[in-house]
Structure 1
Amino acid sequence: MSEKGKISRATGILGAATTLSRVAGLVRDMLIATLFGAGFGTDAFFMAFTIPNLLRRFFAEGAMTAAFVPTFSAVYHQQGRQEAQRLLNICWTLLLIVMLVVTLCGVVGSPLIVRGIGFGYAGVEGKLALTDLLNRIMFPYIFFVSLLALVTGVLNVLGHYFVPAVSTVLLNVAMIVTALLGYSYFEVPITALALGVLIGGVLQFVIQIPVLHRHGMRLHVDGNFTDPMVRRIARLMLPGIAGVAIYQINVIVTRLLASFLPEGSVSYLYYGQRLFEFPQGIFVVSLAQAVLPTLSRQVSENDTVGVRESLRFALALILVVTVPAALGLMLCATPIYSLFFMSGAFDIEAVHQTSMALIAYAPGLLFVGMSRVIVPLFYARQDTRTPVWISFWTLLVNAGLGLLLMGPLGHLGLAWALTLSAFFNALLLMLVAWRRFGVFELQGLLWTALKMLPALALMALVVTQILQMGSWEVMSGRVEKGVLLAASVVAGGGTYLLLCLLLRIPEATYFAHRLKLRLMRRGGGA
């Protein structure tokens, strides 16, 4: 199979599995909105979940994965399974120790952490105390998902993507079940959600172990922390830690600023970002995970042509998929929240405020996608320092814009600040990579973007005409809303894809061809 085919196959598997998780996540968020709305309790929960969730992204999608996967891949392909197993044992042991210390510090130091990230809550009686309680319950979650991240990296190198990706469904299922069962049981109902986070983290890790064993890998204790490969991973991680930490500080800064805004602001931003992350998780993260092992292998083999083609293909896919997805989110923001969230404690005002946040976030989908694809190029070349400096400047831009815009625009100003800083980050990454590696074919990407314009325009027209037939301001008429929203998505998406094919955009043609082959194989086997 060609490298292009491997990336597409891995992306497809990850995308399908992640779709299941995102759907479960949508159901979870609908339930949270219905039971708890957007106010005191949800503000406390989302703020409390900030640190463990950001640490999850730090390890699962950040410095550790970026440093471990290329090194483990090189050892596995060049030195064999036995040496790879030994490296896994050492990293496993070291991670156990580190995460145990981090978890204990997080639980014991919870009051200080909560006051630091939610300082604006101090003016609301009981809000900091509730946030502290929820944070203590959820913090051990990071222990299990960090171990999970290591196992996931190994399975990805071994070519297994589905179970690690689909395991994230368990977190959402656990939160849904505990919320339903514990809502009337706990004195503070939202405590049930925090318990569900912890249970979900345990389940996510446990389900990976049998899969790892089937691939002939085991988790054993090995304290040889002076091994050269471990030191190599540590060296790669150190600047990566700074880079990922800067990104996470970016999010913390946004939450901190939002804590000074009117009640509900943190929740509006959370609900908006959750829907923004839906297409991001299905495609962008999946593609980035699939690209890193391929780029690592091509760089280790000095395959410059392969690196250039893999990067061009990945960036073109990001462009073709994220731009219509972002446009669709902007056009469908109010209908989506009206259909799925407007119920119980989530009223029309919450729908409007959250929809505006999503509209501000949506354009950032392209920029986040570009960054996710370009950063692995630096990591594959064992350069983790450059993304650190770019992330640092991005942090300053986000903080400055947030302070500037939150006054006149409220929580919308914070959302726009993140989007504009994402653009700044992607632009710097592309410029530096272009000058240093010379692997970009910008002319081809610009030509693809120009060819997409008529398809995007007609898609917007079709979607708008259909959505105008709905009554999105009222809670009733859920069936009618569902039909109209589904019709707009299908008609708009179909129009866009058809025009892309007629305009002969290569990436659209490529996927249509692969889809046709897959359907023919299924038909032949029936």
Structure 2
Amino acid sequence: MKTQDSREEAASSASALAPSGDADPGQTTQAPRLARSAGAFGFMTLLSRIAGFARDVLQAHLFGAGVATDAFTIAYRIPNYLRRIFAEGSFAMAFVPVFNELKQNGDERALKDFLDHVAGALCAAVLVITALGMLAAPLIVSVVAPGSLQQPEKFALTSEMLRIVFPYLFFISLTALAGAVLNSMQRFALPAFTPVLHNLSVIAAMLLLAGLLDVPAKALAWGVFVAGIAQFLLLWPSLARHGMLPRLRLNLGHDGVRRVGKLMLPTLFSSSVAQINLIIGTAFASLLVAGSQTWLWYSDRLVEFPLGLFGVAIGTVILPHLSRRSAAADTAGFSRGVDWGLRMILLVGLPAAAGLALLAEPLAVVIFQRGAFTAEDSLMTALALTAMSIGVPGFMLSKVLAPAFFSRQDTKTPMRAALWTVAINVSLTVAIVTPLWLNGVPGAHAGIALATALAGLANAALLWRALRRSGGFELQAGWRRFLWQLLLGLCCMAVAVLVLRQQVGDFARYAEWQRWGLLLAAVATGALTYGLGLLLAGLRPRQLRHH
């Protein structure tokens, strides 16, 4: 990165506050608006993550880690991966730029016609895929979890759970369409709230159904099924209030449908590369000891907290913003938007990764270790979490870098990066896990997490390299100083958390309420010292608003 003097920093700050030239004077592109939108999205996501933690705590308490939870983890990953294609992943990345372009043109009839036909095509596609998935459940399980073929009971249970959860794909895809429309209209709060219903539905199912079923863990699958319906019923009617409730029309030859389909095709890999890597990890984990899929699941859930709270929030609000800048040919505004997103991601992503690594075992002990979830389960989860935390900055950066291409309707570049990333993940998984597995080393599943993390960093690096080479993007001033400020803040945080951990010792020896108090104190100490380190280094909140 080239050196910038203070005058260049001041000029960049001033330009970031200038109007962007959007055709709609009410749609300014100043970073404070992006920050407020990300804040609203992040707050609703926080509620979802709190409900998600309650769900995970109850699940660990009731079912622990074993064959039944492994079966649910495998079954749930399939529609969850497809959700990334037909819901907020590949579909959203293709749909939002086209929707915003038509919206920018001001032709409401053309916009509504586009929405009607895309909704009809999406509904038909996911309905067919859902039906095929339910019919071919055993075949799918044999492909994604080959190790379960040696365990007939686990194989049958996984296939049954997959049939239960597959309809979730249909409802969540239509929910995501509604969310994409609302996000494009600058309505972020309600779409961000819908995952709360998902977690509450699963919690209710565990409490009400677990004792009535032959295999109590089946309640998890039924909870996911109900969650899809609940989210659809909340979000879909909200489109009517904005005059955007689609009339389903099926015409695969419609220009808008073909355009979205053409943009979607390359994004099938690029928008869901993390999920693809998790599917690969699931297949390898099926060959390891019972509980491996569950340990990876819980570590992934902990990683998803900062990723969903900050990475997804920033990525979600920045895609419509960058799409408008691209449609208006506002190169300067586009650069400022991407630059702001990258800074915000690093500001929260680096301490999140460090915090997860430093507090991996306390997090597993305090959140999960009770009931059927043993100390051994906590240790195995912590190993996976420590390895997975390395990739958090990469996972989060991709949430900004990929939309930078999608907003310009360039889907091929992220696809190429995704293909390389999957190849890297498979190679690393084989290289790391195989010797551990063959030698019976405990914690071999952590090798899967490490491979996924390194692949995530590789994906971000490939996207960054491509963005710098693509033209039409310029870094704003002050990056060298910003990175040094982050480094000082991270050092302060690491020292404080390590000292506190040394004083506390084993979290498991404390009473329940003391564990939670100590964990919250550790998190608060880390956050406070990180913030103080940034202030000592000269970073001020107003500087973040300037980019």
TM-score range, shorter chain: over 0.9
Letter in 2 for 1:147: L
Give the C-alpha shift of residue 61 in structure 1: 2.9
| Structure-to-structure mapping, 1:232-271, within 5 angstroms | 232-244=259-271, 248-271=275-298
1:501 alignment partner, SS class: helix
Q: Which secondary structure state, in structure 2, belongs to the residue aligned with residue 184 of structure 1?
A: helix
TM-score (norm 2): 0.90
Letter in 2 for 1:324: P
Is 1:185 matched up with 2:212? yes
Please list the CA deviations of residues 235-283 of structure 1 after superposition, one character each: whole Å capped at 9, or x if unmatched.
1112122434665432221110111111111111110010001000000
1:337-416 alignment runs, 5 A limit:
337-406=364-433, 407-408=435-436, 410-416=444-450
CA distance in 2, matches of 1:421, 1:444: 29
1:112 to 139, 162, 178: 139
Question: Which one of 480, 497, 502 corresponds to residue 468 of structure 1?
Answer: 502
- The alpha-carbon deviation at position 147 of structure 1 amounts to 0.6
The reply on whether 1:497 has 2:531 as its aligned counterpart is yes
- The Cα offsets for residues 11-43 of structure 1, whole Å up to 9 and x where unpaired, read as 111100111111111111111111110111111
Q: Residue 22 of structure 1 corresponds to which residue in structure 2?
A: 49
Q: After TM superposition, give the deviation of residue 464 of structure 1 in Å.
A: 2.0
Farther off after superposition, 478-487 or 239-248: 239-248
Cα deviation code 1:97-128 (max 9, x no counterpart): 11110010000010100111111112224010
2:10: which partner in 1? Answer: none
Q: Give the aligned residue type for 2:518.
A: L
Instruction: Write the deviation string for residues 154-199 of structure 1: whole angstroms up to 9, x where unpaired.
Output: 0001111111110111110010011011121101101111000000
Instruction: Give the whole-Å Cα distance in 2 for the aligned partners of 1:465 and 1:107.
Output: 52
Q: Which residue of 1 aligns with 2:15?
A: none
Kept after mapping to 2: 8 A contact 1:459/1:495: yes
Give the match for residue 466 of structure 2.
432
1: CA distance, partners of 2:71 / 2:161: 8
Match of 2:224 in 1: 197
Q: Post-superposition shift, 1:465?
A: 2.1
- The residue type paired with residue 486 of structure 1 is L
CA RMSD of aligned residues (A): 1.9
The alignment partner of 1:263 has SS state of coil
Determine the structure 2 residue equivalent to 1:483.
517
Q: How does 1:1-12 map to 2 (within 5 A)?
A: 1-12=28-39
Gaps of 5+ in 2: 1-27, 437-442
Return the offset for 1:443.
Answer: 7.2
- Rounded to whole Å, the distance in 1 between the matches of 2:62 and 2:51 is 17
Contact 1:467/1:484 (8 A) holds in 2:
no
SS of structure 1 residue aligned to 2:341: helix
The answer to whether the Cα contact below 8 Å between 2:274 and 2:395 also exists between their aligned partners in 1 is no
1:231 matched to 2:258? The reply is yes
Which residue of 20, 41, 59 maps to 2:68? 41
Tell me the CA shift for residue 440 of structure 1.
Answer: 4.1
**d(CA) in 2 for partners of 1:443 and 1:158?**
31
Which one is further off, 45-54 or 404-413?
A: 404-413
Provide closer, same or farther for how the CA distance between residues 512 and 441 of structure 1 changes in structure 2, counting only shifts above 3 A: closer
Counterpart selection for 2:249 from 222, 226, 234 = 222
State the alpha-carbon separation in 2 of the partners of residues 512 and 337 from structure 1. 36
Matched AA of 2:479:
L
Aligned to 1:520: none
Unaligned residue ranges in structure 1 (runs of 5+)? 514-526
**CA shift at 1:3, angstroms?**
2.8
Q: Per-residue CA shift, 1:469-502, capped at 9, x if unaligned? A: 3353536511111111111211221121122123
Residue 289 of structure 2 aligns to a residue in which SS? coil
Q: Secondary structure at the match of 2:504?
A: coil
What's 1:521 paired with? none
What letter is aligned with 1:485?
L
Q: Distance in 1 between matches of 2:273 and 2:190?
A: 30
Give the Cα separation in 2 of the matches to 1:511 and 1:445. Answer: 12
| 1:449-476 Cα distance to aligned partner (Å, 9 max, x none) | 2222222111112122223333535365
Q: CA deviation at 1:435?
A: 1.0
In percent, how many aligned pairs have the same letter?
37
- Asked whether the equivalents of residues 3 and 294 of structure 1 are also in contact (C-alpha less than 8 Å), the reply is no
AA at the equivalent of 1:28:
R
Give the AA of the match of 1:12.
Answer: G
In structure 2, distance between residues paired with 1:225 and 1:79: 24
Work out whether residues 470 and 480 of structure 1, in 8 Å CA contact, stay in contact via their aligned partners in 2. no
